[in-house]
Amino acid sequence: NGALLVSNSFFKIFPREWVAGKMEQALEKPNSVVLSEETAKVYFPNLSAEEILGKEIVYFNQDTIAATVTGIVKPYSENSDLDFTDFISITSLDVLPDNSRFNMESWDAFTSDSQLFVKLAEGVSPQHLEAAFPEMIKKYLGDEDEEYRQHFAQPLSELHFSDALGNESANKLIL
pLDDT digits (tens, 9 = 90+) for 47-91: 999 999 999 999 887 678 899 999 999 987 777 777 789 999 988
Q: What pLDDT is attached to residue 121?
A: 87
CA 137 from chain center: how many Å? 21
Residue type, 32: S
Render the burial of 69-85: b for 16+ CB within 10 Å, e for the rest.
bbbbbebeeeeeeeebb
What is the band of 23 on the pLDDT scale with cuts at 50, 70, 90?
A: very high
Calculate the alpha carbon distances from 117 to 6, 156, 159 in Å: 11, 8, 11
- 28 within 8 A of 111, measured Cβ to Cβ: no
Q: What pLDDT is attached to residue 162?
A: 58
Q: What pLDDT is attached to residue 101?
A: 60
Q: What is the mean pLDDT of the chain?
A: 80
Q: E-assigned strands of the chain?
A: 3-6, 18-21, 32-36, 56-60, 64-73, 86-89
CA–CA dist 59, 61 (Å, integer):
7
Q: What pLDDT is attached to residue 171?
A: 43
Higher pLDDT, 106 or 69: 69
Average pLDDT value for residue range 12-19: 91
Q: What pLDDT is attached to residue 175?
A: 41
Calculate the alpha carbon distances from 95 to 1, 63, 89, 91, 133 in Å: 22, 11, 11, 7, 30
Calculate the alpha carbon distances from 113 to 18, 22, 92, 102, 104 in Å: 26, 27, 16, 9, 11
Tell me the pTM.
Answer: 0.75
Share of the chain above pLDDT 90, in %: 33
Higher pLDDT, 94 or 35: 35
- 70 within 8 A of 108, measured Cβ to Cβ: no
Q: What pLDDT is attached to residue 170?
A: 45
CA–CA dist 129, 136 (Å, integer):
11
Q: What pLDDT is attached to residue 4?
A: 87
Higher pLDDT, 167 or 38: 38
Higher pLDDT, 99 or 139: 139
